[in-house]
Structure 1
Amino acid sequence: MRHIALLRGINVGGNRRVPMTSLKNTFERLGFTDVRTYIQSGNVIFEAEKPDQHAIEEALRVGFGFPVDVMLRSAGEWAALASRNPYPAQAAADGTKVHIAFLHDVPNPARLDALRARTTGEELWECLGRELYLYTPRGMGQSRLSLAPLGQPVTVRNWRTVQEIGEMLRG
């Protein structure tokens, strides 16, 4: 079964460096097969029966010397992302303005209320399970939206990246 591991906060601004070859080797040492990476931000596609998120995080911590949060999704979960996107027109117009924040867990309603209270301007979001779909008309770099109220690890990918990974999963 194919899976995608999304790593949070690696290779950003020259910090927390993780070479993709070393990352691939780490996943292979865990017994995963057909391991491929996509861009330097930490996207790993691999085959496994039932991957253990905590075992992956521990192997990364030991191998690279710092903690790395990992969000795991199956190929089936990934395939459902497009049909669930509440902003398809915006995604089609510019794949860098629609993002998905991938969460460890489904957030509790109080956390979503706290996020809603901090949302201002023209930015939009909708939480569907463990994914928070974001529309940021000025781009993520100009966004004032903080995902800290969610109270859990989050990693964000833009719509173009989501589509590219989808193609790799199908290929």
Structure 2
Amino acid sequence: MTMYAALLRGINVGGNRKIPMAGLRALLEDLGHEGVRTYLQSGQAVFAAGGGDEESLAARLTEAIEERFGFTVDVIVRDHAYLRAVAEACPFPSAELEGRQLHVTYFSAPVDASRFAEIDRAARLPEEFRLGDRVLYLYAPNGLGRSQLATDLARPRLTKGLIATTRNWNTVVKLVELTRE
């Protein structure tokens, strides 16, 4: 069995697209997964699966959510080894920063730096971003809510054709812990 994290995009925000975490846990168990746990209300679940790959697990969960809850949710599934590698590869001094200052955007597929070439990085300093393996690391010293760079990065044309979902560093670290095999 491999431990995975499911990252659901845009649920339980502003009273829209509500999925109770107990309902999400039950759904994952109904899909045959074991060791199911959720983290916070913003769409993280961990589970053990004996078969499938990240893409097929995400597709099946997306389909099951639509069947049970009546709306579509974008889902990214990643295994423990990948989550750990993302945390270890952080290009910013994560141990020295508050969780609200560092964020990771997970992408459904690899991204090329050319997608972000139009962003004037110098104009957004001290905020910075770096790309990794299907992720973007964002350093926003005043938090995501005040980040002009985060606004620039969220432009739909920059993520066209991808699922993208962002988590703060505390959640990144917690998901590594929760998926530890």
TM-score normalised according to structure 1 size? 0.91
Structure 1, gaps ≥5 residues long: none
Please give the per-residue CA displacement for 1:18-75, whole angstroms capped at 9, x wherever unaligned.
Answer: 0001001111111111111000011010001225221111111111111100111111
1:117 to partner: Cα distance: 4.5
1:109 to partner: Cα distance: 4.0
Structure 2, gaps ≥5 residues long: none
| 1:125 counterpart = 2:129 | yes
Specify the alignment match of 2:173 in structure 1. Answer: 163
Q: How do residues 22-61 of structure 1 correspond to structure 2 at under 5 angstroms?
A: 22-48=23-49, 49-51=51-53, 52=56, 53-61=58-66
Distance 1:102 1:61, change over 3 A: same
Identity, % of aligned positions: 37
Q: Is the 8 A contact 1:11 1:18 kept in 2?
A: yes
Runs of 4+ off more than 6 Å: none
Specify the alignment match of 1:76 in structure 2. Answer: 81
C-alpha separation in 1, matches of 2:92 and 2:97:
10
Please give the per-residue CA displacement for 1:71-110, whole angstroms capped at 9, x wherever unaligned.
Answer: 1111100111222000125x53311100000111112343
Q: Is the 8 A contact 1:61 1:68 kept in 2?
A: yes
C-alpha separation in 2, matches of 1:143 and 1:81:
22
Q: Is the 8 A contact 1:85 1:133 kept in 2?
A: yes
Q: Is the 8 A contact 1:112 1:150 kept in 2?
A: no
C-alpha separation in 2, matches of 1:130 and 1:159:
16
1:118 to partner: Cα distance: 7.4
Specify the alignment match of 1:88 in structure 2. Answer: 93
Specify the alignment match of 2:163 in structure 1. Answer: 153
